[in-house]
Structure 1
Amino acid sequence: MSTVPDHPHPDQIAGAPHPRETRTLFGQPRAQDAFLEAYSTGRMHSGWLITGPQGVGKATLAWKIATFLLTEPPADAGLFGEAPPPTSLTVSPDNADARLVQSGAHPRLYVLRRVMNKTETALQQDITMAALCGHDDGPNTLKAFLHMRATEGGRRVIIIDCADEMNRTVANSILKELEEPPKNTTFILISHQPSGLLPTIRSRCRVLRCAPLGHDDMAAALHQAGIDVPNAESLATLSEGSVGEAVRLLHHDGLALYGDLVKLFGTLPDGDRQIALALANSCAGKGAEVRFAMTLDLMDRFLSRTARAGVSGPPTTQGAPHEALLLAKLSPTDRAARIWAELGQDLSARSRHGRAVNLDPAALILDMIFKIEATAKKAVKA
């Protein structure tokens, strides 16, 4: 049974509604239609693997499919002929089963995700046997859920969010269930990086791929979440079509920070040391951990966009004012693009190492800025 704990959900983006509370799924009509076509033609799989970048609606799709299946009409609903095939996953919020799903208390729905550690101080890094079985064989374990008698012959649904976080023991346990699934039981696995899953798990699931959202779908999804932004283009560009990443950018002032980076790099190839020092110092000290992480992420994104500009030309959408002109200046040729791509790989590795050994944030940021400055002098001559 799914329950609503006092602790934050590991499957919920901070500042956004939980996926089960999302009324409309934007930007994924192909994935929805593929599932409905399989359902309508009697080709339902017991395992479904929903893939795609983080934050594009995979969890929302999983909860919509689960709600749809748990409110499935009885087989004799079409007394005067076959009922027409469903064209939408939408279920009335007044439906009794839908209300149970919304409350997190549906008896035929089980959600497998990370749980708190034994000291209740933080979430575990992986989905472990503690999440699968608890500390006993009680009524809230997945084993007990799979072997209970389905209420009134209805379906049972298991959502795993996300499957990438299962440790090997849990993954093998899930594989056994996928190999011989109980009757009327559907597994819905969410994965950001399906290549990391056991090949045997992937082979036993039908894949539904979710794509990054376009500008209009992004704006609509954010509006539904109660978030309205005037610069939707910049947000959609920087978030690369991920609503989850868009929410993170908004909550941590990412758009303004990226604008500052573009202004700083606009002084290249010479650079402005005062601006660089101010940026580096803003990432140091107590309470600056989030800004430090965001700065590293956005620098990586800037380098990726710079490299792409040398191959395909300046971007048609901008993450900040004057960005397109800057990228055209810094990366005018495919040779320059290779130089920027190599730097991006080098700085990404340097960033991971710096964080792993707790290198001084200001020193790491300054070092990266100086390397970008040196590369700019080389790239503009390429």
Structure 2
Amino acid sequence: MRGPPPEPRLAAHVYGHQAAIQQFEESFASGRLHHAWLISGPSGVGKVTLAFHLARRLLGGSDLESPAGRRISAGTHGDLLTIARKMDPRKGQLKGEITVADVQPIQNFLHHTATEGGWRVVVVDGLESLNRFAANALLKILEEPPPKTALFLTTSSPGTLLPTLRSRCRVLALAGLDEADMKAVLPDVPDDVLHRAHGSPGRALFLAQDRDGICAGLVERALAGEELDHENWVIVSQIAREAEGFALVCDLLGEALAGQARDAAFAGDLPRAALMADRAGRLGQMRLQSECFSLDRAEAIREVLALARQG
């Protein structure tokens, strides 16, 4: 069996997204390459992989075995800077936002001469995670970029960004991968999981963590209004011990509630559609609060399942 796809920095190939690559190549060939590219699309669809692919193109590292290619893979290329959420050592998880202190190194990086005499490239992973101060700091950088500078900014939520920030970027909007590309990326993931992932390899890997369907079964019983017995509470405790257990339950339940809201709307039952949409929104708030404040995972799972059982 093959392992999971390589991390974005190490990927030798981009599956799908050929239209986006073509747009970039045409701009590059024209000699008037835009300085900022906003790569948007669903979570796990390959936005950061594409960003590094384009960065390699500018830095002469498309061949992973070339000197520049090896430096990019190792994270030691002097003309490539990556900004993303950092780990919180106290909580052992990623911080909830990218701060102005995280963004400030971009200014110094771009105003130094390129170490290899060519382009300077910045990849910002998760633009929606920038807090207000960080977003304003990045906006100032985008307003007056130095020559031969390229910024690749990824986001799953373009609608949440500052309009002034979006307006200074050229957008590459990515759709989900087709069936053939999904199977090429993840040949060992079952077809039913690939189908539920809606063209997102990252989501398929996430869903595949529910190897025995334990989380899915728990959510299904809660949605049916069943009161969970002692055996099921033991399962809740087991899920809570898994790193992504709580997130999986929330994801599966959120998808089900959104589907119920959509089905009710199509059927003309607007009150039920509004009710299900409200519950999906409340679920999102509960998930955010639990993750931000490191609440007890087992208790958090019990609370979201109680939300599902409300009918």
Q: Normalising by structure 2, report the TM-score.
A: 0.83
Do the aligned partners of 1:46 and 1:185 also contact (CA within 8 Å) in 2? yes
CA shift for structure 1 position 165:
1.5
Match of 1:242 in 2: 200
Q: Counterpart in 1 of 2:215?
A: 257
| Contact preservation (8 Å) 1:280, 1:361 | no
Q: How does 1:54-203 map to 2 (within 5 A)?
A: 54-71=43-60, 91-117=62-88, 122-133=93-104, 141-203=105-167
CA deviations on 1:86-122 (whole Å, 9 max, x unpaired) are xxxxx22222211111111101111112234586955
Q: Determine helix, strand or coil for the equivalent of 2:268.
A: helix
Name which of structure 1's ranges 359-368 and 172-181 shifts more when overlaid on structure 2.
Answer: 359-368
In structure 2, give the amino acid aligned to 1:114.
R
Aligned residues: 300
Displacement of 1:152 after TM fit? 4.7
Amino acid at match of 2:215: L
Paired residue for 2:303? 364
1:348 corresponds to which residue? 280
Q: Given the superposition, is the C-alpha separation of residues 197 and 154 from structure 1 closer, same or farther in structure 2, using an over 3 Å criterion?
A: same
Task: Give the fraction of aligned pairs with identical amino acids, expressed as a percent.
Answer: 33
Q: Which sits farther off after the overlay, 122-131 or 359-368?
A: 359-368
1:25 to 1:369, Cα distance in 2 relative to 1, 3 A: same
The 1-side partners of 2:243 and 2:83 are apart by 30
CA distance in 2, matches of 1:163, 1:217: 26
**Inter-partner Cα distance in structure 2 for 1:171 and 1:366:** 36
In the alignment, which of 26, 31, 38 is matched to residue 42 of structure 1?
Answer: 31
Whether 1:299 and 2:253 are equivalent positions in the alignment is: yes
Tell me the equivalent position of 2:235: 282
TM normalised by structure 1 equals: 0.69
CA contact (8 A) 1:252 1:290 kept: no
The answer (yes or no) to whether the contact 2:123–2:153 under 8 Å persists in 1 is yes
- Mean alpha-carbon deviation: is it higher for 141-150 or for 241-250? 141-150
Partner of 1:153, secondary structure, is: coil
Question: Match for 2:268 among 312, 335, 341?
Answer: 335
Structure 1 stretch displaced more, 107-116 or 359-368: 359-368
The one-letter amino acid of 1:104's match is G
- Structure 1 residues 343 and 289, CA gap change in structure 2 (3 angstroms): farther
Q: Give the conservation status (yes or no) of the 8 Å contact 2:45–2:200.
A: yes
Q: Does the aligned pair in 2 maintain the 1:129–1:169 contact within 8 Å?
A: yes
Q: Secondary structure at the match of 1:100?
A: helix
Q: CA deviation at 1:159?
A: 0.6
Q: Is the 8 A contact 1:112 1:158 kept in 2?
A: yes
In the alignment, is the contact (CA less than 8 A) between 1:283 and 1:292 conserved in 2?
Answer: no
Give the letter aligned to residue 145 of structure 1: F
Q: What does residue 5 of structure 1 align with?
A: none
C-alpha contact 1:48 1:205 (8 A) present in aligned 2: yes
Of 51-60 and 301-310, more deviation after overlay is shown by 301-310
Partner Cα separation in structure 1 for residue 245 and residue 280 of structure 2: 17
Match among 14, 21, 32 for residue 10 of structure 2: 21
SS state at 1:190 partner: strand
Asked if the contact 2:40/2:172 (under 8 Å) is kept, the reply is yes
Letter in 1 for 2:208: L
Separation (CA, whole Å) in 2 of partners of 1:370 and 1:118: 36
Cα gap change, 1:370/1:126 in structure 2, threshold over 3 Å: closer, same or farther?
A: closer
User: Counterpart of 1:93 in structure 2: which amino acid?
Assistant: L
Q: Equivalent residue of 1:151, what SS?
A: coil
The letter of the residue matching 2:303 is: L
Moved more, 113-122 or 124-133: 113-122
The Cα offsets for residues 218-275 of structure 1, whole Å up to 9 and x where unpaired, read as 121224xxxx12x22x21332222211111111243855335655x489x6xx6556x
2:236 is paired with a residue whose SS is coil
Which structure's CA Rg is the greater one? Answer: 1
